[in-house]
Amino acid sequence: MPIRVEDDATDPRVTVLTIDRPEARNALDPEHQAALGDAVFAFESDDTKLVAVLTGAGDTTFSAGADLKRLIPTYRHRVRAGEDPPWNFGGFTATERAKPLIAAVNGHALAGGLEMALACDIRLCSQNATFGLAETKWAIIPGAGGTVRLPRAVPLGLAMEMILSGEPIDAAEAHRVGLVNRVVPLRELLPRALELARSIADRGPLAVREARARVLDGLGLEHDEAMAREHAAFLRVMRTDDAEEGPAAFAEKRPPRYEGR
């Protein structure tokens, strides 16, 4: 199976998406690209699934991005023939999502691999991880959000260095500059990512989605407009049944029973 889609063993609200092509450093050929897009779409469309974790098969590479032997040549041929086809990875690097996606970076996240990690909401990595946008080495540029998201995730000078030189940084540097939330031993990476996913899944699902949307939306807005949209979202959430259930559960010292309404 090109992309493994599995429920978390202890919480079916959490989905694990694994790029399963370790023999090619989990690079995406056309088949894996399509399968990843289908898997992300299915997760987004399933109301019973609240959080997903994206990782790579094996213990050395999260993903090397696009398959330089198959995906890139096919795309380049179409462009040189005069077409303007979309360029993204699994759809989610180019389109909006509603649900949280956590990257469990189990090794090298290079080129499109880093762009996929950047498109996730939260990033954890193993100690052997590296992060780089190597496209200029092959006379192309990052085209799935790399030049947009990396400068928003790390200092501008470092983003410029990584993009223009194509040289990667290691896990310790990625954590120091805030590219990843935490660095853990490889054997602990997926369990830690799943622990975080379960924690998010326990929260009010409508509140999580609205809060996530307001954070991302607010990055591109003037302060007053961002505040106004936050207030409107606050009112929407306060009108929900879940917003009544949460404080009631707290007062009664019991776990809340959220129904997403």
Q: Which residues are catalytic?
A: 115, 135
CB count within 10 Å of CB 179 equals 25
Cα 93–Cα 95–Cα 99 angle in degrees, nearest 5: 90
CA atoms within 13 A on the CB side of 131: 34
Q: SS3 of 59, please?
A: coil
Q: Which residues contact 216 (CB under 8 A, 6 or more apart)?
A: none
Element containing residue 103 per DSSP (H, E): strand 101-105
214 phi, psi to nearest 5 deg: -70, -35
Angstrom CA distances, 52 to 33, 81, 84, 205, stand at: 18, 38, 31, 13
Distance between CA atoms of 16 and 23, rounded to whole angstroms?
20
Tokens of 41: 């779409």
Cα torsion at 175, 210, 148, 87 (round to 10°)? 110
